Amino acid sequence: MYAKRLDKPGKVKLSDYDPGEHAKLKKEQGEEKLAELGAELAALQELMYGAGQHALLVVFQGRDTSGKDGVINKVIGLMNTMGCSVSSFKVPTELERDHDFLWRIHARTPAKGEVGVFNRSHYEDVLVVRVHNLMPESVWRARYAHIVHFEELLRDAGVIIAKFYLHISKDEQEKRLLAREAEPKKAWKLSPGDWKERGYWDDYTQAYEDALGKCAAPHAPWFIVPSDHKWFRNLAVAEALVETLRPYRAEWEARLAAVGAEQKTALQKMRSEAASG
Ligand code: AMP
Ligand code: MG
């Protein structure tokens, strides 16, 4: 698998993972593979929608410029967008701050059959909040357990969860920030705060290592995605999503067959009643 899958709590060291990894593939090969995976992903999504038993929640986290917007466009865009909803979580509003941190998140979780995509998520509440001391330590520390329980609740309600950490190097981030500065068409993406956040690189590393290490579970795995190469990042995310959904294929197909059979019986009954009446 191209991304590293973490599915149980443990110690995570991000420096163990190479953000520039590309599995010896060339860009063209990667794009071909992505197209194939995209077709399978769309087919699996359609089965999930038809079966109506599960939802898929996809979480994207990563530092500024790591490619959260890009991967949503390129990979989620391969699915039927009618069945997808994307939620981007920003600095909480006053109303949101007057509730518990999961209130605004829970409201955006996907219904059965649907795909919910989070561009940032509840994890900001143990990342930016921790790095900038926006809440006392006792508050953010308690949140790891809240998050674990919340994700268990979602699992019990039929939500399949895949969480992605888009892993970029410090050098690559500098390049991307400079590119945003230099190109008028990209400038809207740059906020002066991004350079300031970069100054907290090591604090974010520590916060991410804890978030990944404490909140990885079999039903809610984290995937560490090498993201210095955008095309490889897209490929790795698509592959992880396909592998996440594949195990459900037989179950969904069986459900669809059962629904089809029920429908046929109902139609036959209706027609024979119409004929005799
Ligand atoms: P962007 O994703 O570039 O539009 O930026 C959104 C900003 O909102 C980022 O700087 C996030 O760190 C910030 N943000 C998101 N969630 C929270 C949160 N729970 N508390 C504080 N800041 C947040
Ligand atoms: Mg930004």
Average pLDDT of each block of 10 consecutive residues along the chain (277 residues)? 98 98 98 98 98 98 97 98 97 98 98 98 98 98 98 98 98 96 90 93 98 98 98 98 98 96 95 92
Pull the structure tokens for residue 258: 């059962």
Q: What is the pLDDT of residue 277?
A: 80
**Which of the ligands is closest to the CA of residue 86?**
1
Do the domain assignments include residue 140? yes
Do the domain assignments include residue 222? yes
Q: What is the pLDDT of residue 207?
A: 98
Do the domain assignments include residue 18? yes
Q: What domain count does the chain have?
A: 1
Q: Which atom of ligand 1 is nearest to the CA of 197?
A: 10
What domain range is 74 assigned to? Answer: 4-250
Assess whether the C-beta atom of 125 lies below 6 angstroms from ligand 1: yes
What does DSSP say about strands 222-226 and 55-62: parallel, antiparallel, or unpaired?
unpaired
For residue 75, what is the domain's CATH number?
A: 3.40.50.300
Q: What is the pLDDT of residue 130?
A: 98
Which residue's CA is the closest to the ligand 1 atom numbered 7? 90
Residues 237/117, Cβ–Cβ less than 8 Å: no
Do the domain assignments include residue 72? yes
Do the domain assignments include residue 262? no
pTM equals 0.97
Cα distances (angstroms) measured from residue 126 to each of 97, 207, 227: 15, 7, 22
Q: What is the pLDDT of residue 48?
A: 98
> How many angstroms separate the alpha carbon of residue 259 from the centre of ligand 2?
45
Do the domain assignments include residue 264? no
Cβ neighbour number for residue 13 with a 10 Å cutoff: 9
Assess whether the C-beta atom of 91 lies below 6 angstroms from ligand 1: yes
Do the domain assignments include residue 141? yes
Do the domain assignments include residue 126? yes
Rounded CA-CA distance 253/124 in Å is 37
**Which of the ligands is closest to the CA of residue 133?**
1
Q: Torsion over CA of 43, 34, 80 and 163, rounded to 10 degrees?
A: 100
Pocket test for ligand 1, best of 60, 65, 87, 89 (most atoms within 8 A of CB): 89
